[in-house]
Structure formats: C-alpha cells, structure tokens
C-alpha cells in the first residue's frame, strides 16, 4: 500500500495538523519516505468521542460477531505479506526472520482472543439463586464481566507487531467489546499505518461501528498526555520506559475520574546461580545466558541484566565461558538512534563504576553510524552491588553484570532489597531449591514470573502466563500484558439482583 502519513479516525482519513515527522532507518540514520502528521487536540477528541459512541453498540454484539471480526484481522495481517514486513524491517532493523516469527505470534494470539470472545467463558458468569423462603429472604444475585469502555493503547517499540498497534492490548480489548484508540509508535509510523488500514478495513467489512478503531500518529509527549486525559478513555495500556509509563500513570490518577493505566516498564530480571547447578553445568548455563542477553540485540524487557553466584572456581569458569560467547556476538543495529544512545550512555556509566570490570566484549567493533550495539559483560564483587544497589538501572541492550557473592546470605539480602521486576531466574538442582527455599519465597513477592533452569526471554502466549510484576516493573502487579488473562485489564463486573430470567443477559440465565 502507499503510505499517506494520515490518521485513521473512525474509518476516515485525517491530517489537519501542520506539524510532521518521519520514520528513520536505524541502520543508516536516514529519514524514510513519507511525512506523518502529528495529531491535533481536535483529532484526539474526535477519535475518542467516536469510540464512546461505538462502545454501547459493541457491548450488544454477540461473541461470534466479535470473533469473526478479530479473526479477519489475523487473516488480513497474513495477506499483507512482505509489504508489512519490509516496512517494519526498514523502521526497526529487526531481521526478517524475527519479524516473520513475530507475525506468526501476532496472528496466533489474535486467534486465541477470537476463540475467547466466541466461547465467552472469560466473562465469568456467577449465579447465586435466590431463596424467598429463607429468613431473611435471600435475593437472586448474578454477576457478569463486561468491557470497561474505550481503551487507549500505546504499543512497544521493540515488538512492532505482537505488542504494537494490533498487538495483545488492542486485540484483547476488542474481545471484551471495547473500542480502541491507538497512539502509533513514532519509531515505526509506517508499520502502524499499514496495521491501522488492516483493522479499519476489517471494521468496515464486518459492519461494526466506525468508532470501533482509530489510530493517530504523533511524535510529541503532549499528544500522549491528551489521550490519557480525555474523559472518554476508560483504561490505558502502555509498554515502554519507566519514565514514560510513570508520567502517563500520574496523569491517569490525577484525572477528575481516575482510570487504570496498565504500564509494563523496566526490569533487571536477576539470575541466581546456585552451587549445584554451577558445579554440574556452568558452561551450558553460560552459553544460554549470553543467548538470552543478546536476544533481539538485548532489547527485550526480560533480558537478564544482573547475575549473582557464589565466588569460586565454578563461577570463574562460568564468567570465562560467558566472556568467550560474548566475543563471538556480532554487533547489530538497535531499534532506533535514541535507544542506541541510551545504551552507550548506560554502558559508559557502568564501566566507570568503581570495582566493576569489563570481562567480555564483542570481538567485532560496533559501527556507531549504523547504531550498532556490541555485547558487553561485566563482573564485580558483591560489595560493589551492596553499595550501589539503589543506583541499579536497566541498561536496555546486550549487556549484563555478574556479581560474586561470598555467602548465600548475600543472595538473600539482595533479593530482599529488590524493587519489583518482571522475572527472576534460578539455576539449580532440586536439592538447591530445597536448600534455598527462603530465596524462592522472597522472590515470589518481588517478581511476576520465576524461571527455573531456563532464561526469561521468550514468553509463551498461553493461559497460565503472567507478564507483569510489582512496581516499578508494572503499575498493577496482578494483571498480565501477555497471555489469555490480559483481557481482564479491560473488564468490569456488573451485578444483577432480582431480575426476571427473561430480562437477564443470556450467560446469566439458569
């Protein structure tokens, strides 16, 4: 398709603002063709107002109707073929193989939510039949989940398809019968426009209300704030940095009618190497560790940034093997120049920290003009971590630090001092787990997902998955942004008391 740089507002194109920006090829730093218009306040208002009008109609639709619509989106994504992938590659430098895999994940999760909309079990019908003969009489009480209202979605920079304009957030909101207004990510505006055209066409073909979907482009923080401030928005999904997520969360909470903002933000994803595992397989753990650190050029929210192990020969062997594996990593282009600049700045700050030593680096030099990142591994004694733990920050990119502990109590001390994180990983034997039950118990209260003898990168889209964690990893630790249960961010219960059967919603009839 030919890109226009215009927005999609309730099925119509719009571009009334004079301010524009372009996509950037991160491998060269050059602007890509097509200028995209920044959304005006009037355009944001029009999109949200249309979504508000559409909401009541969507809530009356059958699960079958919603499922058909959602399945059509998946089909159209596949039919877009290389047009979609070529633009995503140009704007993100993600390899075509990775984008093909992400497209498969996107379509798979889309069809999962279509099935959920069709069977309706997510609505969790609860029925307490009345008993007028009881003293006092027991009323008939029945509860069902409904969509919360129009949802604003801010997609991720690192997953332009699976967590982007038509990613999990948007699709599960549709499954709940909620209209969606997407704030397109400025790092891949062309990809967003192609996806926006797909959903807009599906809305029209299925005869849904035009306000079911809108997508607006913008490269300004003020426009993002307008989405969250608008009184018609009932919930917000955000994937990005702690700074950006917290700013929008504060706006959501300070509204006259506060709304939930489900933000998935930064995370250190610590790895704990227990003695039994290091003694058995330090080399294989090291290889898996570097693969996880460098996956996606280190641009996954679950990349392991911190490793703790007991000082000794087995840990030194692990560090040596990890350093060798890091040297074999060929530098690759990051998602956009801003992320590359932040990565290099973070690495410099870490390398200048007293007591921290660089022990591994890509043998090939990174090309700064191509925004490439080398893999860098550091090491330090626990005393350094103990004195700088309050200053620990995620470095978004292929780097990680191994800390040498003098006692297992130091691992526990570190775990107790953790803020909220998305994941923690434990490498050990079954006996290690029994011997360090206290560590496992502490981590249950510090992270959303604990991985045993694996690595946190690569998230299975399934019913049991939880991708979230205590603040600052996320703003609501009991909700997930990936997997089947992500739909519950956009649902609210409605209780019906004393209704005759004929007037009840179908799922609540006995």
Q: Catalytic residue numbers?
A: 264, 301
Q: Which residue has the tokens 């209202």?
A: 149
- Closest alpha carbon to 264 in 116, 36, 465: 465
Cβ–Cβ under 8 Å, residues 402 and 319: yes
Cβ–Cβ under 8 Å, residues 39 and 168: no
Phi, psi of 264 (to 5 degrees): -110, 120
Give the Cβ contact number of residue 414 at 10 Å: 22
> How many alpha carbons fall within 13 Å on the CB side of residue 477?
17
- Using CA atoms, how far residue 286 sits from 134, 283, 297, in Å, is 66, 5, 17
Cβ–Cβ under 8 Å, residues 229 and 147: no
Give the Cβ contact number of residue 56 at 10 Å: 12
Helices (H), 372-421: 382-388, 408-417
Q: Which residue has the tokens 């006259």?
A: 256
Angle between helices 63-79 and 96-119 (to 10 degrees): 170
User: What H or E segment, with its residue span, contains residue 175?
Assistant: helix 168-175
Query: Is the peptide bond between 432 and the residue preceding it cis, with omega within 30 degrees of 0?
Result: no
Distance CA 281, CA 283 (A): 6
Cβ–Cβ under 8 Å, residues 318 and 271: no
Cβ–Cβ under 8 Å, residues 282 and 321: yes
**Which residues lie across from 14 on neighbouring strands?**
7
Cross-sheet strand order for the sheet of 421-427: 357-361, 376-381, 399-405, 306-310, 271-273, 421-427, 447-452
Burial label for 429, CB within 10 Å (0-12, 13-18, 19+), is middle
Q: Is 294 left (phi over 0), alpha (psi -120 to 50) or beta?
A: alpha
Length of the chain: 510
In sequence order, what are the residues at sequence separation of 6 or more whose Cβ sits closer than 8 angstroms to the Cβ of residue 444? 450
Q: Which residue has the tokens 């526990």?
A: 412
């Amino acid at each position: 398709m030919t890109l226009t740089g215009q927005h999609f507002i309730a099925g119509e194109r719009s571009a009334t603002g004079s301010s524009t920006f372009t996509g950037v090829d991160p491998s060269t730093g050059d602007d890509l063709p097509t200028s995209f218009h920044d959304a005006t306040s009037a355009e944001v208002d029009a999109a949200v107002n249309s979504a508000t009008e559409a909401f009541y109609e969507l809530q009356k639709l059958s699960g079958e109707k919603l499922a058909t619509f959602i399945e059509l989106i998946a089909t159209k994504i596949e039919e877009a073929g290389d047009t979609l992938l070529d633009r995503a590659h140009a704007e993100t430098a993600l390899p075509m193989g990775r984008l093909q895999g992400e497209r498969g994940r996107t379509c798979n999760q889309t069809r999962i939510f279509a099935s959920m909309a069709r069977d309706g079990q997510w609505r969790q019908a609860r029925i307490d039949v009345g008993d007028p003969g009881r003293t006092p009489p027991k009323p008939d009480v029945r509860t069902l989940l409904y969509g919360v209202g129009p949802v604003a979605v801010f997609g991720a920079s690192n997953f332009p398809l699976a967590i982007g304009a038509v990613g999990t957030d948007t699709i599960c909101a549709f499954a709940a019968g909620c209209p969606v207004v997407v704030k397109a990510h400025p790092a891949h505006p062309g990809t967003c426009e192609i996806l926006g055209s797909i959903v807009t066409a599906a809305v029209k073909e299925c005869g849904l209300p035009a306000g079911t979907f809108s997508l607006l482009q913008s490269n300004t923080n003020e426009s993002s704030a307008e989405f969250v401030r608008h009184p018609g928005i009932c919930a917000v999904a955000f994937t990005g940095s702690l700074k950006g997520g917290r700013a929008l969360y504060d706006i959501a909470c300070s509204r006259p009618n506060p709304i939930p903002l489900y933000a998935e933000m930064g995370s250190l994803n610590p790895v704990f190497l227990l003695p039994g595992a290091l003694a058995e397989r330090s080399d294989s753990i090291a290889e898996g560790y570097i693969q996880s650190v460098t996956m996606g050029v280190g641009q996954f929210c679950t990349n392991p940034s911190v490793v703790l192990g007991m000082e000794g020969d087995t840990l030194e062997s692990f560090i040596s093997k990890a350093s060798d594996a890091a040297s074999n990593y060929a530098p690759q282009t990051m998602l956009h120049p801003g992320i590359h600049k932040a990565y290099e700045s973070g690495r410099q700050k870490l390398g200048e920290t007293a007591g921290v030593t660089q022990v591994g680096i890509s043998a090939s030099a990174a090309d700064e003009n191509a925004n490439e990142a080398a893999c860098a591994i550091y090491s330090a004694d626990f005393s350094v971590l103990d004195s700088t733990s309050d200053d620990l920050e995620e470095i978004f990119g292929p780097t990680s630090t191994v800390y040498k502990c003098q006692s297992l109590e130091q691992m526990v001390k570190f775990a107790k001092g953790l803020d909220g994180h998305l994941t923690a990983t434990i490498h050990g034997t079954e006996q290690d787990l029994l011997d360090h039950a206290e560590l496992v118990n502490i981590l249950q209260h510090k992270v959303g997902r604990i991985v045993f003898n694996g690595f946190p990168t690569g998230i299975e889209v399934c019913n049991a998955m939880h991708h979230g964690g205590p603040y600052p990893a996320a703003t609501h630790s009991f909700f997930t942004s990936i997997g089947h249960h992500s739909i519950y961010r956009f649902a609210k219960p409605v209780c019906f008391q004393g209704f005759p059967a004929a007037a009840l919603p179908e799922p609540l009839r006995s």
